[in-house]
Structure 1
């Protein structure tokens, strides 16, 4: 049986869609983005010697380096209308697939631009796994959809975001036994995407983001190994190629890779982290979030 794209997304929490955005449109955005990076940081895309020689505040660790201050650049591009055509290309695709609800883009775009770190061999990451939204009992849909937009070809060795497909369903299952109510403060913290979804927020039972990983580690040897160091060959074989199944839920580590014009729709309740950029190229990806409407 062939699953629909929406059913596939519901099972995995990750959906790749090819050739959604015109590459010429992306090239124009890419040009403006690098002009602003040059202006603000004195960094040239084609001159690796400038990538960090003039920057005092990169963020990240040995795996990859990102720049503080990209938020202001993205806000300026949005205000100048440089991102409008991309939004208009993505919106009908979201409408066609996710027909159960109406989804609308937020005003804020994110740059996931990252530069090579100090590691030389790519491996499945073992740390910094986290979720970006809680799992709500009785609500199978996320509050928002993260849409990753590839400005250029991105391969795993360029520090791709790394996701555990199916982990949002594991979180939903845990929420039924470990979830608590009286989470108004947490719900209010996400008001930009969940406002109006619940008549009585104080009665909503949910599992906070920081309470997902530990129970999975306790009940599942696969997750126990995930957070331990190991050789690249063994970890790629176990977590990406083989995966695992428990409670009827299949899970695998998936790298968010693609070519210019592709998008990936991602459920923020899935566990994810960033990986090492061991290439000699920056990872050029943007992210736009869509809010679920009432």
Structure 2
């Protein structure tokens, strides 16, 4: 492993998020994007170049004022995976993961996700204060997550297009909480994540972990920065406090990071980090896919 790769790994371990630029050739991205929108047009009658078609069917879009998604994208992603249309970009992602995390350490799951979102009704972008959560339990004594989320940019995505926002370093804050608040006898929760944690534990009953729904409230109670994060405030002040300045608590740096990038970039994300979706105030859809990797 080179010095650069070690630096990237340490950066990921500290922040829980790592951007890798130009991982996928733009020609391959364009090809996948073409197939992606062909299937959306076939199923929903939506044309990316015709905004009037985006919400012509009231049964399709879901969401709130921040951004709107489409029901039924799972079948489109399964069809694209089975057809082999995603193979080339998947083959481009694997070496990038191997270079940073070690060869054969992580392997992709079969299921891809669409994170496509359309503009909502909000007109000013702000650091979101609602729906902060994490997607995986935190196991005491285990520095690594069970899975990695890899965000794949099919087009240039800026914060105002509804970028997922992450509290970098929050997985380390949660790991500290888990040491005092974690519990055992969580077999049902462990089994719910069998696709990514099977084979990791000899005896699941002995595993001490902190469930996802027991994370946010303790952080709010012990840290005024998190208390302010989940309360409304003016965009200028929130952007300055949470994105530009951040905070440090017990030597752990934390900052809100919008997951933005250019077509062909990927972002590797620790699902134990707190995150939420932001408002798409642009006039463009956010075109992002997600591929999950599991530990070997």
Under a length normalisation based on structure 1, what TM-score does the superposition of the two structures give? Answer: 0.98
Equivalent of 2:173, from 170, 175, 178?
170
Paired with 2:103 and 2:30, the residues of 1 have a C-alpha distance of 33
Equivalent of 1:64, from 64, 67, 70?
67
Quote the offset at 1:105 in angstroms: 0.1
Q: Do the aligned residues in 1 keep the contact of 2:152 with 2:290 (CA within 8 Å)? A: yes
Under a length normalisation based on structure 2, what TM-score does the superposition of the two structures give? Answer: 0.97
Quote the offset at 1:238 in angstroms: 0.2
- Does 2:11 correspond to 1:38? no
Corresponding residue for residue 185 of structure 1: 188
Paired with 1:55 and 1:224, the residues of 2 have a C-alpha distance of 37
Paired with 2:66 and 2:139, the residues of 1 have a C-alpha distance of 32
Aligned residues: 293
Equivalent of 2:123, from 120, 124, 132?
120
- Does 2:36 correspond to 1:6? no
Corresponding residue for residue 109 of structure 1: 112
Corresponding residue for residue 136 of structure 2: 133
Corresponding residue for residue 215 of structure 1: 218
Equivalent of 2:199, from 196, 207, 214?
196
Q: Do the aligned residues in 1 keep the contact of 2:44 with 2:60 (CA within 8 Å)? A: no
Corresponding residue for residue 32 of structure 2: 29
Q: Which runs of 5+ in 1 are unaligned?
A: none
- CA 1:100–1:215 in 2, change beyond 3 Å: closer, same or farther? farther
Equivalent of 1:272, from 271, 275, 284?
275
Write out aligned runs for 1:209-288 (5 A). 209-288=212-291
Cα RMSD over matched residues?
A: 1.2
Corresponding residue for residue 82 of structure 1: 85
Q: Do the aligned residues in 2 keep the contact of 1:147 with 1:288 (CA within 8 Å)? A: yes
Q: Do the aligned residues in 2 keep the contact of 1:41 with 1:55 (CA within 8 Å)? A: no
Quote the offset at 1:242 in angstroms: 0.3
Runs of 4+ in 1 over 6 A off after TM superposition: none
- Does 2:80 correspond to 1:95? no
Q: Do the aligned residues in 2 keep the contact of 1:134 with 1:209 (CA within 8 Å)? A: yes
- Does 2:226 correspond to 1:205? no
Deviations 1:201-249 (A, max 9, x none): 1100000011110000000000000000000000000000000000110
Quote the offset at 1:96 in angstroms: 1.1
Paired with 1:101 and 1:170, the residues of 2 have a C-alpha distance of 29
Deviations 1:106-136 (A, max 9, x none): 0000000000000000000000000000110
Q: Do the aligned residues in 1 keep the contact of 2:162 with 2:286 (CA within 8 Å)? A: yes
Quote the offset at 1:57 in angstroms: 3.3
Q: Do the aligned residues in 2 keep the contact of 1:95 with 1:103 (CA within 8 Å)? A: yes
Query: Match of 2:285, SS?
Result: coil
Q: Which runs of 5+ in 2 are unaligned?
A: none
Paired with 1:90 and 1:166, the residues of 2 have a C-alpha distance of 24
Query: Match of 2:134, SS?
Result: coil
Quote the offset at 1:260 in angstroms: 0.3
Quote the offset at 1:101 in angstroms: 6.6
Q: Do the aligned residues in 2 keep the contact of 1:131 with 1:209 (CA within 8 Å)? A: yes
Quote the offset at 1:259 in angstroms: 0.2
Paired with 1:286 and 1:175, the residues of 2 have a C-alpha distance of 31
